[in-house]
Amino acid sequence: MPLPENEQPLSEDERRILLEIEQQLIESDPELARAATPSRRSGYNPWTLRLSALCFVGGAAFMIATIGVHYLLAFLGFLVMFGAALSFERGLRELGRSSWEHLADSVGSAGLRDYIGNAGERMRGHFEDESADEDEDRS
Residue 62 has pLDDT above 90, yes or no: yes
Position 7 scores a pLDDT of 63
| pLDDT band per the 50, 70, 90 thresholds, residue 37 | low
Question: Of the given ranges (63-67, 84-88, 102-106), which has the lowest mean pLDDT?
Answer: 102-106
Position 44 scores a pLDDT of 60
The pTM (predicted TM-score) of the whole model is 0.43
Pick the more confident residue, 122 or 90.
90
| pLDDT band per the 50, 70, 90 thresholds, residue 1 | very low
Across the chain, mean pLDDT equals: 76
Residue 87, classed as helix, strand or coil, is helix
Contacts of 88 (CB under 8 A, 6+ apart): 49, 52, 53, 56
- Whole-angstrom distance, CA of residue 122 vs CA of residue 31: 36
Let me know how long the chain is: 139
The sign of the CA dihedral 48, 51, 54, 60 is negative
Position 24 scores a pLDDT of 84
Residue 74 has pLDDT above 80, yes or no: yes
The torsion defined by the Cα of 109, 111, 116 and 120, in degrees rounded to 10, comes to -50
Half-sphere exposure of 7 (CA within 13 A, CB side): 6
Position 39 scores a pLDDT of 54
**pLDDT tens by residue, 5-17:** 566 677 888 888 8
